[in-house]
Structure 1
Amino acid sequence: MWGWAFTMLCEELRQIVTSVGRTTMMKLRFWFASLWNRFDLVMFLTVIAIVNLRLLVKQD
């Protein structure tokens, strides 16, 4: 799961870097315009939340 999330993150970063636009903000706006990229963002935030919960919550 961690490897899959990492490779997906690398792919999304590649898409942002190679997208049209001169400035970083324009590239991010272009990337965020796609509905599928928004779903990817939600997925990344969910993975981060799961990892934090896994590492921070103690189990008895």
Structure 2
Amino acid sequence: MQNYLREAVEKLRNYYIDQLIEAGLYIKSDREVYSLTLSELQSIVKKTLKNERRLGIFT
């Protein structure tokens, strides 16, 4: 059971990392983004999407 949860968390982390790299906030070689926790990644993505919607970049 633990392995499933660990895999799910890791997949979600990778998803958020990919989103931040695609948005141009981080570059793939930047180690900082890979050291962030899932909660930190979620927070950054949430703030980024909120700002993009406010600016009309993301619809």
For normalisation by structure 1, the TM-score amounts to: 0.40
Q: Which entry has the higher C-alpha Rg, 1 or 2?
A: 1
Bigger relative contact order, structure 1 or 2 (CA pairs below 8 A, ≥6 apart): 2
Higher helix share: 1
Relative to the length of structure 2, the TM-score reads 0.40
